[in-house]
Structure 1
Amino acid sequence: MSLVGSNKGVTLRQLLVAIGEPLVESWTPALDPVVRGVAILDPDDEPGSYPGELVLVIGARGREAARYVRAAARGGAAAVAVKAGPPAERLADVAAEAGVALVGVAADIRWDQFGTLVREVLDAAALAEGLGDAEPGDLFSLAQTLAVLTAGSVSIEDAGNRVLAYSRSDDEVDELRRLSILGWEGPETYLALLREWGVFQRLRSGEDVVRIDEHPELGIRRRLAVGIRAGSQHLGTIWVQEGREPFAERAESALLGAARLAAVQLLRGRSGGDRSPQRLVTGLLDGTASADLVAGRLGLDPATPAVVVAYAVREVIADRPAHELHRVEAIDMVSMHLASYRRGALVGASGSRIYGVLPGVAGDADTRQLGALVADIALILRRRTGVRVQAGIGSPVTGLAEVVTSRAEADRVLDAMGSDRVAATIADLRAEVLLGAVAALLREQPGLRDPAVTALTRHDAEHGTDIGPTLLAYLDALGDVRAAANALHVHPNTVRHRVRRAAAVSGVDLADPRSRLACHLQLLLTQRPG
């Protein structure tokens, strides 16, 4: 049973990012098909045709769901969604054989909730399809597209009822729309009536579409309206006036999708995300902009020493406007606090991380002082946004041309940080960063791994033994049997026995320092993959 469709659709990866990883995950990451619709496959129904659709397999899990995954694949499905759970994860092999992408949905989310989330993403995609070659941040293009989808006349206002954009229309407009556009704000007499009818209160208190009846005696035609929101913050309103023809069938759904797109555009405009200085800073950080050019444009000495600070939000915010609001607030707060420390501080964003370039930071004393400030900013961000924020600090470099190196170190620090830290420098976590780089190398090039250690891990899996973890604890303790026994809560003789078994099973030469080191590194990867 098909529920909704979009001509161009979105890729599965885009869909999953929009919905959020806590709710859904891909079990076939190599596949990224375009999803153009969503459909339901109930075990009580006969499988049908699902070209380009995400098929929700309801009422079947684990092995029972395998036949429906295959049936959906035969019907041309782009992807299949099943409820997550240990038995269900084995369905990835079934999906791979059938040539269809497989998505696992969190066990505690209802299918109707998940279907609604998917439809909202596809609705937004359908709305964006009408933008063509227009500038994506252009509210006028958004208003024009919405006018087509709703068969009405659209105006977009900010929270102060000032008109930001409106659609072109050959249709008749009422007095309220004419005066609003001519004056670039709603006339006070009509605004008073809307307040009296409770329209503004409803627009500001929720995300529901508000219907305003026609009032011929006042020259007001029927309208739909929705608040533009980011979390609990009201950013503005979109109004759609009915013309000669009734509203389109999916007008309210299109209006809701437009409000969410408008929220992101308004917040990006507020953050200055398209301003040249931020683009210059981002280019400086990734090495695509000349340090001399950036210094000249921003009034800095290219030879000044500098250090890069990186901030990362560690929790996913599924609500896209709320996420964008937090991002805007974070950029503003980081900019303000870093500028108070160094007047020439530069702030930019790349991906999900926010970066600060601090000129004039050159020595250990400066770095220690900066570390305290960076940690304070991370804590302030958490109190303000309610999400956990961590910060990594790279090493000072001798000029702006080298900030790429400091930025890379700051990123490595963030990647190596445990959940117990708020902020750290590369000096604090150099060992962890090195181990992380070695582990990444072993993952990328499995041919470098020692077959003896691989055999040890396989032996534990096949026989249910704990030889690998015991050997790791023994190596962590530098061969101190009693310390390893205390860490594992076992008798020292148990440790001795298991270490001897490790050498016998795998053939690892624990007397050779190099073999011991290689074994230790590989065990860190296999026994502590996180």
Structure 2
Amino acid sequence: MLAAPGGLGVGVEDVVIHDPEDPPDAHPGDLVLVIGARGRVAAGAIRAAGRSGAAAVAVKNGTAVVNVAADAGVALIEVGHEARWEQVEALARGVVDAARAGGEADSGEVLGDLFSLAQTIATLTGGLVSIEDTASRVLAYSRAGDEVDELRRLSILGREGPERYLAMLREWGVYQRLRAGEGIVRIDERPDLGIRRRIAAGIHAGSQPLGTIWVQEGAQPLTESAEVALLGASRALAPQLIRHRTLPSPELRLREDLLAGLLDGRLDAESVADDIGADPGKPAMVLAFSLPRDRAATDRQLRRAELVHLITVHTAAYRRSALVSVIGGRVYALLPDLPEHAEPRILALAKEIAGTARRHLDVRVRAALGGVVPRLSDAAASRGDADRVLAAMARGHGTADVASLADVRAEVLLSEVLAFLGEQPRIRDPRLTELIAHDAEHGGILVPAVLAYLDAFGDVRRAARELNIHPNTVRYRVRRAGEVSGIDLDDPAQRMLTQLLLRL
């Protein structure tokens, strides 16, 4: 840093490259990299950057233009003679992009990891590596020498692949093969087009494409293990690209933190209401959504991020002050300022979200409605109701994708009674303990028969159908269970206790 007329606290919004032969094209907050001009030759570019409000200018041999920068009111950074502009631009843009992605250390690590991985892949393959998203935007790349071809040079300088080259790759079927799944795609050298030999691999989360790794052959042939290394890298990069894609904006993260803080008891309702423009004294409800666990972790994480956006749009359309957040793998939505008799409308909203997720995200979502609470400070209680409903749905109670506490109240209350009994070992009938132990040693057939008989309210034929055995077999097993344990199922109290404890 040779000059900083505005101090060191000036913010940088973007990184641009300026060629002195081109017209000035800088904007307020830009860091302008002046290539092709050193020392006093760069004076014009520095003055133009100052007039545009640029944050800083980077040049080589900058000591000759310190006064020019000071007069122009723009910071001046000197770049070492040996440094390559491509490397400088990658470093600067990586820092700015990381800050823009979230402004915290964890977001910086995403892009930092990508550049570090790109360099590692380059070492293992012996080529020049670039990592792109599904829109062909360059996210990171490895260092390079003079062997960079025209496609790589234009892609990196423009931060995305040039359209005429992209059109050729599409015409050759390259992108179709990359999207099809795992595997190495080979692109032959085309000297007439300025394209050197390449290998590429798609990055996927399940069946969903996330991006592409390109490896350009340089002055030396690629290593013998280049394709194996590239395949491994394509798998290792999926989590980083998911984090890069799903990282929320600072504004969205603030709203997520507000809801998490309210539901966890870290923030008071009045503070949250003030931030979102809600009335803390009006009724509220919490919706809870869960995804099935039958998908790979990376795919589930990506689907959850898409589900958050889907829920945010739908709930904001119903209540402007709605909040959405992910807590413990579930997605929660807070609906404040509810009018009277809001449950039917919210039930329809939850069904619409679940249906849209099934159609457009290709995923089955379970949605649970918590109870309506009289004020925002009781939102945690509504969240608890929603969690209880989801737990009942996960145990197979009900076949619908959307349910309220009223729909599964009996199952929820029974599970809580059983949970209480499970925590109270003194509330046991030793006769049932003996029956369970005996059954475990003799084929485990008596307890299921007794439970089916009690669940069927003593209807032997119905219990037999449930167990797929003969009714006489049910009668024998129930009678035998009574002989082993001494329990009298004709006694209402013993019958109820038996059903509860055997369920436990």
One-letter amino acid of the counterpart of residue 178, structure 2: L
Of 145, 148, 156, the residue aligned with 1:181 is: 156
Alignment CA distance shift 1:524-1:189 (3 Å): closer
Matches within 5 A, 1:435-454: 435-443=414-422, 448-454=427-433
Rounded to whole Å, the distance in 2 between the matches of 1:425 and 1:502 is: 38
Residue of structure 2 in register with 1:207 after alignment:
182
Matched, 1:428 2:399: no
Give 1:326 deviation, angstroms. 2.8
Matched, 1:401 2:380: no
Residue of structure 2 in register with 1:306 after alignment:
284
Rounded to whole Å, the distance in 2 between the matches of 1:328 and 1:429 is: 28
Rounded to whole Å, the distance in 1 between the matches of 2:158 and 2:111 is: 23
Of 405, 410, 416, the residue aligned with 2:392 is: 416
Alignment CA distance shift 1:236-1:469 (3 Å): closer
Matched, 1:152 2:131: no
Of 316, 335, 344, the residue aligned with 2:294 is: 316
Residue of structure 2 in register with 1:136 after alignment:
110
Q: Aligned-residue CA RMSD in angstroms?
A: 3.7
Matches within 5 A, 1:10-49: none
Matched, 1:366 2:304: no
Rounded to whole Å, the distance in 1 between the matches of 2:144 and 2:377 is: 52
Residue of structure 2 in register with 1:47 after alignment:
none
Rounded to whole Å, the distance in 2 between the matches of 1:207 and 1:294 is: 46
TM-score (norm 1): 0.62
Q: Deviations over 1:326-354 (max 9, x none)?
A: 32332222222222322222222234322
Matched residues, number: 390
Q: Is the 8 A contact 1:309 1:391 kept in 2?
A: yes
Structure 1: unaligned runs, 5 residues or longer: 1-130, 526-530
Matched, 1:295 2:273: yes
Residue of structure 2 in register with 1:241 after alignment:
216
Alignment CA distance shift 1:387-1:133 (3 Å): closer
Matches within 5 A, 1:185-200: 185-195=160-170, 197-200=172-175
Rounded to whole Å, the distance in 1 between the matches of 2:248 and 2:107 is: 20
One-letter amino acid of the counterpart of residue 418, structure 2: A
Residue of structure 1 in register with 2:321 after alignment:
344
Partner of 1:439: helix, strand, or coil?
helix
Of 357, 362, 366, the residue aligned with 2:334 is: 357
TM-score (norm 2): 0.65
Matched, 1:328 2:302: no
Matched, 1:457 2:436: yes
Alignment CA distance shift 1:133-1:402 (3 Å): closer
Residue of structure 2 in register with 1:384 after alignment:
360
Partner of 1:327: helix, strand, or coil?
helix
Q: Deviations over 1:273-299 (max 9, x none)?
A: 464223433343344455444334333
Q: Deviations over 1:156-209 (max 9, x none)?
A: 223333323223346743333222222223334544544454433433444322
Alignment CA distance shift 1:164-1:299 (3 Å): farther
Rounded to whole Å, the distance in 1 between the matches of 2:238 and 2:108 is: 18
Q: Is the 8 A contact 1:271 1:331 kept in 2?
A: no
Partner of 1:135: helix, strand, or coil?
helix
Partner of 2:342: helix, strand, or coil?
helix
Q: Is the 8 A contact 1:470 1:495 kept in 2?
A: yes
Residue of structure 1 in register with 2:463 after alignment:
487
Of 460, 472, 495, the residue aligned with 2:451 is: 472
Q: Deviations over 1:107-152 (max 9, x none)?
A: xxxxxxxxxxxxxxxxxxxxxxxx9996135543443443344343
Give 1:374 deviation, angstroms. 1.5
Q: Which of the pair has more CA radius of gyration?
A: 2
Rounded to whole Å, the distance in 1 between the matches of 2:471 and 2:130 is: 76
Structure 2: unaligned runs, 5 residues or longer: 1-104
Residue of structure 1 in register with 2:486 after alignment:
507
Residue of structure 2 in register with 1:75 after alignment:
none
Give 1:521 deviation, angstroms. 0.8
Rounded to whole Å, the distance in 2 between the matches of 1:469 and 1:299 is: 55
Give 1:413 deviation, angstroms. 0.8
Q: Deviations over 1:431-458 (max 9, x none)?
A: 2112222334455665644331121223
Q: Is the 8 A contact 1:223 1:241 kept in 2?
A: yes
Q: What is the aligned-residue identity percentage?
A: 54
Q: Is the 8 A contact 2:111 2:139 kept in 1?
A: no
Residue of structure 2 in register with 1:118 after alignment:
none
Residue of structure 1 in register with 2:139 after alignment:
164
One-letter amino acid of the counterpart of residue 157, structure 1: E
